[in-house]
Amino acid sequence: MHAVDVIRAKRDGAALSEAQIRWFIDSYTKGDVADEQASALLMAIVWRGMTAGELATWTEAMVTSGRQLDLSSIERPTVDKHSTGGVGDKVSLILAPLVAACGLADPMLSGRGLGHTGGTLDKLEAITGMQVDLDLDDAVRIVRDVGCVICSTGPDLAPADRKLYALRDVTGTVESIPLIASSIMSKKIAEGTEALVLDVKVGSGAFLPNLDQARELAETLVGIGEAEGLKTSALLTAMDTPLGRTTGNGLEVTESVDALKGNGPDDLMEVTFELAREMLSLTGTGGDPVQAIENGAALECWHAMVEAQGGDSRAPIPEAPERRTLAAERSGFVTHLDARAVGEAAWRLGAGRRRKEHDVSASAGVVCLAKPGDEVEDGQPVLELHTEDHGFFEHALEALAGAIEIGAEPPEPRPMVLERIRS
């Protein structure tokens, strides 16, 4: 086969054959197909899309491009969760030990943040000694012993996706539902779990702010999972307002531990409990996530996981030396707090990275002192900005211009879980 023939076929609107897809993914992973040729095919897919059959083969070829986890030594039902990313989305930190406390095993392979959405691994590295780049055999051992692990995918799982993802990021080919879905699912299928629950965020702070697009992505993800024999479901959850009260790596760890102690904000716990119940339902497992918080079992699993990954779960989390507040400009009720603006501000304060190789601050971020529905007085602090560099405040405040809306009446309550999608 020749790469140019595959590119031309997709460019002209043809459905690629199984042989063409498998050859292209394998050849690109090995370096026999050049980046510019892969870029051309990706752009053709952006424009032409993929059939369900193409997408299933494309995803499977990425799965088999590398190693797949062997979870046969784990006696518990295995399940994982994936979020499409949002502002203040620290659910994974709470959810993995929570479902482990309910009798499930969760090998949660996660990523780092880029742009206005935070990364789970960056948050965990705010913990003293915490190791997230684990050998996959060690990761499986920790899941077997503790019930959960949160670590990086490493270079061995779905290496084709690793190469293609980096290429998409620099060629304007990120915004394609087939490419997004196959990227997510290739890594999750390679984990080898029995079931998967997807948290597809919708709103200003989400990757896909439009409900119809988010629903299409969720349905595509579930379809791929089912085609691969993986029990899969998806929840569409609201992301117009930051989730919980904090955005930023160390701040979110502290809030997550508070949540495991039973002191989590209502919106954060609503999403977390619904995802936990969905994971239990998919695996046919009993267990009460609320009780696992109340009796301390989830917190015990958190401490065990952190210690197993080399971290000191009781060490203090770094705190920012520089802080500034943003106050309400009138009295009334907070009616809107724009998630994307808060995420952008946290990024500018040092919580995010401009390039993948950049370091992030463990202490930078934003604390929401008031959220939609809360009553405030003129001049009352609504947001508290944390940073290590006083010079970052100016640009962060620019990002927050117009982010806070205050009205005479509180907004109508909105459920966090908007829809549930199963095959």
Confidence class of residue 220 from pLDDT cuts 50, 70 and 90? very high
Mean pLDDT to the nearest integer, 97-126: 86
Tens digit of each residue's pLDDT (9 = 90 or more) over 240-256: 999 999 999 999 999 99
Residues 43, 181, single domain; the answer is no
- Whether 310 is in a domain gets the answer yes
- Whether 165 is in a domain gets the answer no
Residues 341, 402, single domain; the answer is yes
Quick one: pLDDT at residue 117?
A: 63
With vertex at residue 308, the alpha carbon angle to CA 307 and CA 312, rounded to the nearest 5 degrees, is: 20
Mean pLDDT to the nearest integer, 358-374: 93
Residues 227, 288, single domain; the answer is yes
Quick one: pLDDT at residue 115?
A: 57
- Whether 163 is in a domain gets the answer no
Strands (E), 206-273: 231-238, 246-247
Closest CA relative to residue 365, chosen from 242, 237, 239, 269: 242
To the query of whether residue 133 is one of the catalytic residues in this protein, the response is no
Number of structural domains found in the chain: 3
Catalytic residue of the set 90, 187, 245, 386? 187
Closest CA relative to residue 418, chosen from 269, 265, 292, 271: 271
Tens digit of each residue's pLDDT (9 = 90 or more) over 42-74: 999 999 999 999 999 999 999 999 999 999 999
What's the domain range around 135? 79-153+175-314
CB 345 within 8 A of CB 385: yes
- Whether 119 is in a domain gets the answer yes
To the query of whether residue 183 is one of the catalytic residues in this protein, the response is yes
- Whether 72 is in a domain gets the answer no
Residues 328, 256, single domain; the answer is no
Catalytic residue of the set 10, 22, 82, 340? 82
Quick one: pLDDT at residue 111?
A: 77
Q: Which CATH number covers residue 344?
A: 3.90.1170.30
Residues 265, 342, single domain; the answer is no
Catalytic residue of the set 65, 182, 183, 313? 183
To the query of whether residue 187 is one of the catalytic residues in this protein, the response is yes
Quick one: pLDDT at residue 261?
A: 98
Task: Answer yes or no: is pLDDT of 279 > 90.
Answer: yes
Q: Is the dihedral of CA 247, 250, 254, 256 positive or negative?
A: positive
Residues 232, 363, single domain; the answer is no
- Whether 66 is in a domain gets the answer no
To the query of whether residue 363 is one of the catalytic residues in this protein, the response is no
pTM above 0.85, yes or no: yes
Residues 363, 282, single domain; the answer is no
To the query of whether residue 168 is one of the catalytic residues in this protein, the response is yes
Residues 192, 330, single domain; the answer is no
Cα(233)–Cα(27) distance, rounded to whole angstroms? 32
Residues 118, 179, single domain; the answer is yes
Residues 133, 217, single domain; the answer is yes
Quick one: pLDDT at residue 356?
A: 58
Catalytic residue of the set 168, 215, 340, 386? 168
Within a 10 A sphere around the Cβ of 274, how many other Cβ atoms? 20
Within a 10 A sphere around the Cβ of 243, how many other Cβ atoms? 29
